[in-house]
Amino acid sequence: MKFSKNNATKNRYLFSYFMLLIGVGLSSKSHAVASPDDTIRPYVASNLLYDSNFLRLSDNVDPVAVTGKSDKSEFIKQVAAGLDMDWTISRQHIIVKANVNQNWFQNFTTLDYIGWNTQAQWNWQVRNDLDGEIGYTNIQELGGFGQLNSLIGNQQNNQRSFANGGYLFHPNGKVKLGVFRTERQYDGNGREFSNNIEDNAELNLQYLSPTGSILGVRVLATDGQYPQRQLTADSTQDNAYTRMNYAATWDWRASSKTRIDGLVGYTHQDYANFSVRNFSDVIALLNLRWQASDKTLLELSTRREIAQADNLFASFVLTQGVWFNLTWQSTPKIALSLPMSYQQQQYLGGTGSNTVASEQQKDNVGRVGLNVMYHPLESISIGPVLNYEKRDSNNPIASYETKSAGVNLQAAF
């Protein structure tokens, strides 16, 4: 990936600043005795990852023609440093997190980048009947290549600013109002076409049961735009849309060990200029969390949802599938998890020109993994990971298979 001189200078400045911040934090901690009540926690981390097919290229595609290299695999090295801060002042709760990371690629070196993840959030409360959240997040990262299948600049900056408030108008009744904005911007040449801004307003009406369960109704209105899309006589993609989501929500505390939450609703999206791209569908989410024993946790999720797509030909993707995770805390220092998922994806709001006979792309994606978390000391964690992923698609150049293995190291202070 190529950067301008200003961007490179900015990235070096950010990295140096955060490393200095971590150094100051470590220095100050070295003169104090750590306690469970510490609210400032600096850390350093390193991640190593091998991926046999990093760009998710199909066997029907010649990698040399796409990347100029015959090797589809990638070895990624990352070093990171960050701070987690957590303060409670009377009824106010303030959370600040900052992380900066440097990433190196052995094969596709043009993808080298500096990323970060910052968050600031104030959970406020006034009296016993008014509370809410105000916050901002900013994440700079490299997006996945599962929907691009090519060596394309895919570094993205995601920002989210939000504010909401809830009023407990009855011991069992609460109303919540909120607004939030999301912004996604790409650095890669040719990816600015996918830059997106969404302004959202949300209303929740909730019934709070004496047992702690919640039953509610949610309405979410979205106004979205693609600022870099200029409409012409030959345009096939729109640059603005509105979306309405209506849903019934629940959070059922079935027992001290079992929790079931989710929603069932309907979403409808209208484009400003190309009504042929409009779509509507049922959305649903069901999450089950069962603490089977002191050492065993089962998590099951089924989803039917619509989200933004990174595909160059479609704006949104309808995903429906099942996600499962088994976590076993074998000893106080060792935990193993087995995540698995199967999902069907259908791309929406696009031209269809990326598939045979202009048919919209449809994929079936399966994943299985094995994660281990080992804490030799309370402040040190080591996490080996294994993953296998396969996608079958009606687009022959979109099917792929990949295997990955890595290890995550972190030391907190």
**What's the mean pLDDT in 34-56?**
84
Give the single-character DSSP code of 194.
Answer: G
**What's the mean pLDDT in 155-180?**
97
Which pLDDT score, from 0 to 100, does residue 34 have?
38
**What's the mean pLDDT in 268-286?**
91
229 pLDDT band, cuts 50/70/90, is: confident
Please say whether the beta carbons of 411 and 380 come within 8 A. yes
349 pLDDT band, cuts 50/70/90, is: low
**What's the mean pLDDT in 48-70?**
94
Exposure of 331 by Cβ count < 10 A (0-12 exposed, 13-18 middle, 19+ buried)?
exposed
How is residue 168 written in tokens?
A: 């407990």
What pTM did the predictor assign?
0.84
**What's the mean pLDDT in 207-233?**
94
Which pLDDT score, from 0 to 100, does residue 230 have?
87
Please say whether the beta carbons of 102 and 79 come within 8 A. yes
What CATH number is given to the structural domain containing 197? 2.40.160
Query: Count of domains in the chain?
Result: 1
Instruction: Answer whether residue 31 shows pLDDT above 50.
Output: no
pLDDT digits (tens, 9 = 90+) for 178-188: 999 999 999 86
Instruction: Answer whether residue 351 shows pLDDT above 60.
Output: no
Distance CA 81, CA 285 (A): 35
Residue 190 or residue 335, greater confidence? 335
Q: Which of 188-192, 272-276, 388-392 has the lowest mean pLDDT?
A: 188-192
Which residue range is the domain that position 139 belongs to?
Answer: 5-412
